[in-house]
Amino acid sequence: MRKRGVRSVLDVATGTGYHSVQLIEGGFDTVSADGSAEMLAQAFDNGVRYGGHILRVVQADWRWLNRDVHGEYDAIVCLGNSFTHLFEERDRRKALAEFYAMLKHDGVLILDQRNYDTMLDRGFSSKHTYYYGGEDVAVEPEHLDEGLCRMRYTFPDDSVYHLNMFPLRKDYTRRLMSEVGFQQIDTYGDFQHTYRDTEPDFFVHVAEKAYVANDEEKGYSAAVTTARSYYNSSDADTFYASVWGGEDIHVGLYERPDEPIPEASRRTVERMAGKLQLSRGSTVLDLGSGYGGSARYLAETYGCRMLALNLSEVENERNRALNAERGLTGAIEVVDGSFENIPYPDNSVDVVWSQDAFLHSGNREKVLDEVARVLRPGGQLIFTDPMATDGTPKAKLQPILERIHLDTMGSPGFYHDQLTRLGFNEGPDGGFEEHREQLPAHYGRVLEETKRQETNGLAEKVSSDYLDRMKTGLGNWVHGGKEGHLTWGIFHYVR
């Protein structure tokens, strides 16, 4: 907060006053609110007792915060797992909207919560590192489901207390925050920016009110901005992690129609890698690297130095965490950015690699110009992309184009012409290895898996709107593929 120049802070969950006292001692102009008059009386006493501070206390219910508390604040803090006490979704939305309204135009909301995802998915455990009731207090859940977490606190004198809480899933909280208007939300795990989802006891969300209009955002084009917000959304993130396995998001090479998606997806990576002469010293730039499954494979199998450039910061966070888990942080550089503007110098990489990402660009000519620029002479380009077959009338592609918010798709002829224009030569296998039938096979498998998982818990984690749109979209890909309007395959060219 100090780094951001915060001066005024509203502590909306004052409780016993712990954070308010710390904030006052840190020099922040602090107002302390709470819904409970008893807690405020206690907080006031604690303020006097610990440092002689006179707390400015206000009794206020979050749902009517703007009625009872006045002014605008640089920061609002809602700490100590307090937001968990709201049981109605409409109350949670209203409270967040009230917080948003009480912030200055560039203010920040800092809200923490227990890591309920891990409790719900894997059972309760605690490292007791940051939040802790004391050596002698035993804390455990007595009841836990998606709607209620009832915790039992047993004290040394055998007295027992219970607390009912709503088990907020991390991405659900993030989604509510973005729905009330917060655009940029960073979530820390036990105060670390990079973490494994299952590890932290607590998450801290830092949500920014500052609004950035689309066209100002990092200079990205409209198509790039659309792709970024899609892949950054918690729905997409949860969907790809659950349905596709969280490593790869690309068309697989199926040997059997019912093969698991991750196996077929891995086969694509192996097939592509087999076309290259990769070695320990090779620098490979993966454009649109997603969660980085291919980068990890190439780094582990060939010892390449990987540069993973990807638009979605949410995916990149997951990518970095997975790399850390596998001891690959030093081998893979994960960079936030767009392949329409590659942040690397001319002639700096040996191989440009990309899977199913160029379709998201509104300017594929520019992407290929950039590829030619960063690739060293003699360097290799290998990529896959879902495309239109040459000669398909645009009207046939319309349902698909509408869903990906684009006016055009690539085609084998388009890529061949562009690469020839840029002076590339076809690789030894003739430049393009077509696997047209794999496209409907793959999207058909994903559709099946989506439907299966929808009835097995996915519907609770991903919004029904998203799932409906996804199923329609997948259906369009399958239909277009079977009708022969779409194709997919591996391009291999040499500069």
Judged by CB under 6 A, the stretch of 180-188, 203-211, 247-255, 393-401 that binds ligand SAM is 247-255
Amino acid at residue number 179: E
Choose which of 63, 320, 360, 461 interacts with ligand SAM (CB under 6 A).
360
Judged by CB under 6 A, the stretch of 67-75, 243-251, 298-306, 323-331 that binds ligand SAM is 243-251
Q: Does 489 bind ligand SAM (CB under 6 A)?
A: no
Closest separation between CB of residue 124 and ligand SAM, Å? 33
Strands (E), 224-272: none
Q: Does 319 bind ligand SAM (CB under 6 A)?
A: no
Choose which of 204, 249, 285, 375 interacts with ligand SAM (CB under 6 A).
249
Q: Does 355 bind ligand SAM (CB under 6 A)?
A: yes
Q: Does 245 bind ligand SAM (CB under 6 A)?
A: no
Closest separation between CB of residue 491 and ligand SAM, Å? 14
Cα torsion through 65, 71, 75, 77, rounded to 10 = -30
Q: Does 253 bind ligand SAM (CB under 6 A)?
A: no
Q: Using CA atoms, how far apart are residues 405 and 57, in angstroms rounded to an integer?
A: 50
Residues in the chain: 495
Provide the mask over 362-401, with x wherever binding to ligand SAM is found by CB under 6 A and - wherever it is not.
Answer: ----------------------------------------
Provide the mask over 152-181, with x wherever binding to ligand SAM is found by CB under 6 A and - wherever it is not.
Answer: ------------------------------
Choose which of 30, 81, 115, 361 interacts with ligand SAM (CB under 6 A).
361
Choose which of 39, 311, 334, 467 interacts with ligand SAM (CB under 6 A).
311
Count CB-CB contacts under 10 A for residue 348. 15
Q: Does 227 bind ligand SAM (CB under 6 A)?
A: yes
Judged by CB under 6 A, the stretch of 107-115, 138-146, 244-252, 371-379 that binds ligand SAM is 244-252
Q: Using CA atoms, how far apart are residues 282 and 16, in angstroms rounded to an integer?
A: 58
Q: Does 248 bind ligand SAM (CB under 6 A)?
A: yes
Count CB-CB contacts under 10 A for residue 331. 17
Q: Closer to ligand SAM at the Cβ: 154 or 242?
A: 242
For residues 33 and 12, the answer to whether their CB atoms sit within 8 Å is yes
Helical pair 438-453 and 234-243, crossing angle rounded to 10 deg: 100
Q: Using CA atoms, how far apart are residues 77 and 1, in angstroms rounded to an integer?
A: 10
Q: Which two tokens stand for residue 342?
A: 């590659």
For residues 108 and 75, the answer to whether their CB atoms sit within 8 Å is yes
Q: Does 357 bind ligand SAM (CB under 6 A)?
A: yes
Q: Using CA atoms, how far apart are residues 204 and 214, in angstroms rounded to an integer?
A: 26
Say which residues have a Cβ less than 8 Å from residue 56's Cβ, sequence separation at least 6: 30, 31, 32
Q: Does 237 bind ligand SAM (CB under 6 A)?
A: no
3-class secondary-structure state, position 105: strand
Closest separation between CB of residue 362 and ligand SAM, Å? 9
For residues 327 and 358, the answer to whether their CB atoms sit within 8 Å is no
Q: Does 340 bind ligand SAM (CB under 6 A)?
A: yes
Q: Does 312 bind ligand SAM (CB under 6 A)?
A: yes
Sign of CA dihedral 355, 360, 364, 367: negative
User: Rounded to 5 degrees, what are φ and ψ at 95?
Assistant: -60, -45
Judged by CB under 6 A, the stretch of 285-293, 401-409, 442-450, 461-469 that binds ligand SAM is 285-293
For residues 188 and 130, the answer to whether their CB atoms sit within 8 Å is no
Sign of CA dihedral 251, 257, 263, 267: negative
Q: Which two tokens stand for residue 277?
A: 């002469």
Q: Closer to ligand SAM at the Cβ: 111 or 322?
A: 322
Q: Using CA atoms, how far apart are residues 287 and 340, in angstroms rounded to an integer?
A: 10
Q: Closer to ligand SAM at the Cβ: 200 or 292?
A: 292
Q: Closer to ligand SAM at the Cβ: 44 or 477?
A: 477
Choose which of 115, 238, 282, 310 interacts with ligand SAM (CB under 6 A).
310
Q: Point out the residue whose Cβ comes nearest to ligand SAM.
A: 290
Choose which of 114, 205, 250, 461 interacts with ligand SAM (CB under 6 A).
250
Chain residues in the site for ligand SAM (CB under 6 A): 224, 227, 231, 248-250, 288-290, 293-294, 309-312, 315, 338-340, 355-357, 360-361
